[in-house]
Amino acid sequence: MDGPPNRDRRTQLTAAAVDLLETQGPDTMTARKVTAQVGTSRMAIYTDFGSMGGLVASVVDHGFTLLLRELEPKQFTGEHLADIWTIAQIQRDFALTHRHLYAVMFAAETVGGYQRSGHDLEQGIETLRFLHRHCRAAVEAGDLTVDEPRTATRQLWISIHGHLMLELAGYMDTEPEPVRSFAQTVATVMIGLGADQTSARDAVDAGRHSM
């Protein structure tokens, strides 16, 4: 018997699941392998998380906590287009460093036989709100000229995340300069949202050369 829910064991199980996911891929994050790493029985997952889906939710929470930690305020200058590009770069770096974790966070991969859907997809909404705050500031300052900041957030999110999904899937492997391709995508969307062409290109070029 594994007894009542245990906070320390819950943390250990989450860490073990993340480690398996990151080092060996989503197919290895099974209840048997996760609990074997911690030295407990499979029943511990149901005791501490309620289900395998609960463990996956804990892994996803861990991923979004890591991503939000990367979005440190000191990295942002108040130059709105440059700050949006900084967010895009941070997200790309995170996705490439944590490929499987990123894919599970955004429901692009199933894990442990569990497919995230419905209300599960509201996890990590704070990262989208973070982008939205910067888009709203850009619209209020006139750097983006769309009427509704949510439009800017939606279009930038689609372009950033869509590009990253293609890159993670290997569709960008033939690109000689993948960062330049990513920068062009983000700058083009900014221009489509009303940014001055020179300002948008300068913002991403400056940030790209400082990487």
- pLDDT tens digits for 46-61? 999 999 989 999 999 9
pLDDT band at 1 (very low <50, low <70, confident <90, very high): very low
Is position 194 within any domain?
Answer: yes
Structure confidence at residue 111 (pLDDT): 84
* pLDDT, greater one: 83 or 210: 83
Are 68 and 151 in the same domain?
Answer: yes
Is position 110 within any domain?
Answer: yes
* pLDDT, greater one: 4 or 151: 151
Are 41 and 100 in the same domain?
Answer: no
pLDDT digits (tens, 9 = 90+) for 77-97: 899 999 999 999 999 999 999
Are 83 and 130 in the same domain?
Answer: yes
The domain of 26 spans 7-50
66: closest CA among 35, 91, 47? 91
CATH number for position 89: 1.10.357.10
Are 113 and 187 in the same domain?
Answer: yes
pLDDT band at 10 (very low <50, low <70, confident <90, very high): very high
Q: Is the pLDDT of residue 138 over 50?
A: yes
Q: Is the pLDDT of residue 112 over 80?
A: no
Q: Is the pLDDT of residue 206 over 90?
A: no
Structure confidence at residue 211 (pLDDT): 46
Question: How far is it, in rounded angstroms, from Cα 2 to Cα 15?
Answer: 18
Are 66 and 123 in the same domain?
Answer: yes
Is position 40 within any domain?
Answer: yes
In the chain, the number of structural domains is 2
Are 114 and 140 in the same domain?
Answer: yes
CATH number for position 22: 1.10.10.60
Mean pLDDT across 158-174: 93
Are 159 and 74 in the same domain?
Answer: yes
Structure confidence at residue 9 (pLDDT): 92
Question: How far is it, in rounded angstroms, from Cα 201 to Cα 187?
Answer: 6
Q: Half-sphere exposure (CA, 13 Å, Cβ side) for 166?
A: 14
161: closest CA among 110, 90, 112? 90
The pTM (predicted TM-score) of the whole model is 0.89
Q: Phi and psi at residue 33, in whole multiples of 5°?
A: -70, -35
